[in-house]
Every structure is written in structure tokens, then in C-alpha cells.
Amino acid sequence: MGEQHQRLLDNTSYEAVEFGGEIIKVSKSTDKGIDSSSINVNWKWWFEIAFHTVVTLSGLEATVLLSRIYYDQGGNSKWLMASIQTAGFPFLIPFIFFSKTHPNSSSSSSSSSSDPPPYSFLLLALVSTLLGLLVAATDVFYSLALEYLPASTYTLLNSSQLAFTALFSFLLNAQSFTPYIINSVIILTFSPMLLIFSPDTTSSSEVASNKDEYMLGVLYTIAASACPALIFSLTQLVFEKIIKRETIKDTMILTVLLSFVATVVTLVGLFASGEWKGLRREMEDYKQGVLAYNLVLFFSAVASQAYIVSSYTLTFKVSSLFSNVVIRLATPLTPLLSMLFLNEEMSGLKVMSLLLSVWGFASYIYQQYIDDLEATSKCTVKISDL
């Protein structure tokens, strides 16, 4: 709760002071530096959270649906789709040079003197290499899962990522747990497992053609859920222990570094497996044509980078667990979009799993609401006591 309390204080128009062994905030607008009035919310910060939430969801939905379209229309290169998930990092490079280094460029000289020292780029590169290898593994599992499962089933099973994130957040980020969070994690972990007992009947003849392939898709999806959970928790550690700044520029630098490593690894796999030899034929035989083939790959790369940057931004602005909760918002949306655009069916077990996932998500959001009320109350009491 201490970290969440501090982050809430960071979103107000108050100045940091030490009181009772804790860092609190008092108003900057009074002569005495103390204002017992209610906390003024920093709406700019909330707008940024809302914006990155929308971009995260949009990028994730577009990536899942475009990947499904790629396979449905004749694509079959798992390594190509794995590399596409991170190959869009060059689009971020121009934005790095136009992004400011410090979160508040208008801050006073006294505040700039307290800025953390520059981090070691070599250390960041080494950490990014580890993260990049994990991202490459995630991309491979992701591509394999979507080859065997429809997009809606993949997303529902992928809800288990939140449970893995809770575990890693507890071990690596000292995440505290309450009954509501525990309830959310349990429901979001086990509700998607209902789908294991009933293989999908879809309009796509290429997906889950037999029970063995369906089970393989389930296993690949679980692996594709555990890896990102570890990545988000490690990313939060990187921001707290190495970067020690919370800017979009630092987020993009980290994204470019780990995406570069992941792209190199997956491209090596593409050439080592020999799949590259069939790419020209795959493009020529694509059902929607060569132009559509390239557009699917292009927009997949762009959407994936948007998703990565915004989800990492939510990680350092709030927490890795919150970032994954936002990702779970895609759970009830993807089956609807899949039904509308990909002609996938909504079975009874899928609807039941979907409703349980919404229940689990609502439980976590309610806990966030309670935590915010408690943090605000504590801050107001401390200011009035001064």
C-alpha cells in the first residue's frame, strides 16, 4: 500500500514533505505550505492514464485480430509473425529524439537538482537483452497459440496472465494482496479453463482441426501468458532500480532495445527454420492479394509497438499488475469483435467463461477504488495534522 499511496500523492498539486517518517504532500499555493483542503486531482495525469489505456487496448485488439486474419487468409509462417510483433521498433526512434527527458520540463531548479543520476546505458542494454529474449519467447508462443486457436478463445485463456502477474508482482515487486484481489486472481485464472473441456466449433477450417492441436494451443497460450507477466514485473523493477525516471522517452528507449533483441532472435529462427524460403510463395498465394498481405504485416507491427509502449507506460505510472488488469479489459471485447469481423461463434462455455472473467475484473477494480479512497483519506488527515 505504501507504493500506491505515494503514486496517488504524485498525482496531486502538492509538494513533498517528510512527516512522521513518511513522505506526504502539502499545497504549494499557501504561504505556510499547508492546505487542509481536499486533494486536487492532477487531471493531466488521469488523461495520460486514460489515453494509454485506450492505446493499449486498441493495439492489443488489432494485433490479435490481424494475426488471426493472417492465418485465415493463407499465412502460415510462425517465425514471421513472431518477428512482426517487435519488428516495428524503428518507428519509435524518431519519437525518442523529440521526447523530453524529464517528466516536468517546467520544474524549478531545486527540483531538477533532485533528479536521479543518469543510468548506465550498458546495464540497461544487458537488462534489455534479457527482456528481449523473454519477448521473443512470448512472440513464438503467441504465434503458435493463434495458429491452433481462434482469437476469442486465445484471449479468454490469456486471462491467466493476470494470475501469473500477481505471483511475480508478489515475489518481485512486493505487491500486497487483499481478499478482493485474491478473489479476482482466482476467478481470472480458472474461469478460462472451462474452454479446455469443449473444443471450439468455428467457421475457420484451419483452427483446432483436432483435439490434440486444441490442447497444444492451450499450452502455448499459457506459456504466452506467463512470459509477459514476468516481463512486466521485471520492467517495473527496471524503472524503479535502474532508470529511476518516469518518462515516455525512457519507455521508448527500453522498448527499442528489447524489441531489437527480440527481432534479431526471431529473425534467426526464421532463417534457421527455412521458413523464409516459402515467404514469396506465401505472399503470392495470399487469398486477399499481395497488397493485403503486406498491409496486415505492416499494421500488425505498428499496433504491436503501440501496445508495448503504452502498456509499459502504465507499468511505470501505476504498476505491472494494473497494466495487466487493463489488458484484461480486452477479454470481453475480443470475442465480440471476432464474431463481427471473423465470423467466430460464441458457445455457451465461452459466454460463461466471459462472464466469470468480467466478475474477476470487477473485483479487482473495486479493490483499486477502495485503495484510492484510503490513500486520499490518509493524505488529507496528514495535511490537516500539520
- HSE value, Cβ hemisphere, 13 Å, CA-based, for 154: 29
- Residue 268: per-residue pLDDT: 92
Grid coordinates belonging to 137: 519467447
Segment 195-237, tens digit of pLDDT: 656 555 444 444 555 677 788 888 888 888 888 888 888 888 8
Mean predicted lDDT score pLDDT of the chain: 74
Give pLDDT < 70 ranges for the chain.
1-42, 100-119, 151-152, 155-156, 159, 189, 192-210, 331-333, 335-336, 344, 346-347, 365, 368-369, 371-372, 375-386
- HSE value, Cβ hemisphere, 13 Å, CA-based, for 365: 11
- Residue 216: per-residue pLDDT: 84
- Residue 368: per-residue pLDDT: 65
Q: What is the pTM of this model?
A: 0.72
Distance CA 72, CA 289 (A): 13
Distance CA 262, CA 135 (A): 6
